[in-house]
Structure 1
Amino acid sequence: MATTHTYDVTVEWTGNLGTGTESYRSYGNDHEVLADGKAGIAASSDPAFRGDPARWNPEELLVASVAQCHMLWYLHLCAEAGVTVTDYEDHAHGVMTMDEIGRGGQITEVTLRPEVTVTDASMTEQAHALHGDVAALCFIARSVNFPITHAPVIRVQES
C-alpha cells in the first residue's frame, strides 16, 4: 500500500481596503500563508500584477520549493556517497511565460545554480554528478511539468 503525506496550509487574504472587491483596483493582493505552529509568510502577487514587492509572491515560492527540495535531496545523496558538503547556496532562477493576451501564464523553466563547497578535491566530480540524480527523487521536481536545469559550481573548502 502506498504511503501518503498530507500538507495543510491556510491562505488568508489581508488585502481588503474597505470596500472588498468592488472593483479591480479597490482591493489589495496581500495575504498571509499560514500553517499550524509556523511563522506566517507575508505574501502578495508579483509587482507586475499589483502586488507588494516587499512580500513573497506565489511564483517565487514555487521556485524556492524546487530549489529547497533539490538541496535537501542533494545533501542526502552526498551524505550517502561520502561527499562532505560544508556549504550550499543556490541562486535559483525561474521564468514565467505569459499567454498572448497577457492574462494567463505558466512557469516554463527553472534553473538551479547551486554553489557547493566540499572538503576535498577528490569529491568534486561526484559532487557535480549527484545533482543529476536528484530529479528522480525530489518530490517537487517530480510534480511539475516544466524543465529544471542545473548549473552547479563545486568548490573545495580552503584549509
Structure 2
Amino acid sequence: MSDQKHEYQVDLDWKKGRIGTLSSPELDATIEVATPPQFDGGVEGIWSPEHLFVSSVSSCFMTTFVAIAEYSKLNFENLEVQATGKLSKQEGKFVVSEITLKPELTITDEKFAEKAKRIMEKAEEACLITRSIKTKINFEPKVTVGLLD
C-alpha cells in the first residue's frame, strides 16, 4: 500500500422507518441496514451499524492476516473468525466498548504452529481498522493442526 490517500465512498438510501440500503459506486452488491431489534423501532434480520462495525474489525483482521501470511510464506488450510461486539453505556451513552475476536487458523504442519500464532498476533496489531478505533479488542487466537475434509 502506498503513502497515498485512499477514499471509500458509501451511499445510503433511506427506504422506510428505520431501514436503509447501503451501496457504493465501487461495488456491485448492496446491503440493507436497519436499527438493531434491541432498540425501539429496531428490525429483526437486517444488518445493523453495530454488525457492520464488528464486521469491519473482523474482516480487516482477515485481510491483514492473509497479506502477512502470504508475505511470510505461511501455508494454511482455513481461517474462521468469530467476532462479538459488546455494547455498553459509558458516561450515559451507548458505545461499542469491546470486541472479542476469536480467529481459528488451521494449518497442516505442527512445526509452523508458533509462526502461525505470531503472524495472527502481528495481523491483529497491524489491522488499520483496529488502530483507528477506541474500542477495546480482546484477541483470542487459536491454531489447529489438521487437514480439512
Give the TM-score, by structure 2 length. Answer: 0.89
Quote the residue 2:37 is aligned against: 47
Deviation of 1:100 (Å):
6.3
Aligned identity (percent) is 28
SS of the equivalent of 2:134 reads coil
Quote the residue 1:19 is aligned against: none
* Contact residue 135 and residue 142 of structure 1 kept, 8 A: no
Quote the residue 2:70 is aligned against: 79
SS of the equivalent of 1:91 reads strand
Q: Give yes or no for the alignment of 1:128 onto 2:105.
A: no
Q: Give yes or no for the alignment of 1:70 onto 2:71.
A: no
Quote the residue 2:108 is aligned against: 119
As a proportion of its length, which structure holds more strand?
Answer: 2
Counterpart of 1:122, as a letter, is K
Report the Cα distance in structure 1 between the residues aligned to 2:90 and 2:121, rounded to whole angstroms: 31
Report the Cα distance in structure 2 between the residues aligned to 1:105 and 1:143, rounded to whole angstroms: 19
- C-alpha offsets along residues 27-86 of structure 1, whole Å, 9 cap, x if unaligned? x20111111242110110110112212100001101000000001111111222222111
Moved over 4 A (4+): none
Q: Give yes or no for the alignment of 1:90 onto 2:110.
A: no
Deviation of 1:2 (Å):
4.2
Deviation of 1:147 (Å):
1.6
* Contact residue 43 and residue 55 of structure 1 kept, 8 A: yes
* Contact residue 107 and residue 143 of structure 2 kept, 8 A: yes
Report the Cα distance in structure 2 between the residues aligned to 1:129 and 1:88, rounded to whole angstroms: 15
C-alpha root-mean-square deviation of aligned residues, in Å? Answer: 1.8
- C-alpha offsets along residues 84-132 of structure 1, whole Å, 9 cap, x if unaligned? 111111110111112465xx31111111111111121111111112222
* Contact residue 44 and residue 57 of structure 1 kept, 8 A: yes
Task: Note the residue ranges of structure 2 that are not aligned, 5 or more in a row.
Answer: none
Give the TM-score, by structure 1 length. Answer: 0.83
- Structure with greater Cα Rg: 1
Counterpart of 1:112, as a letter, is L
SS of the equivalent of 1:133 reads helix
Quote the residue 2:143 is aligned against: 154
Aligned residues: 145
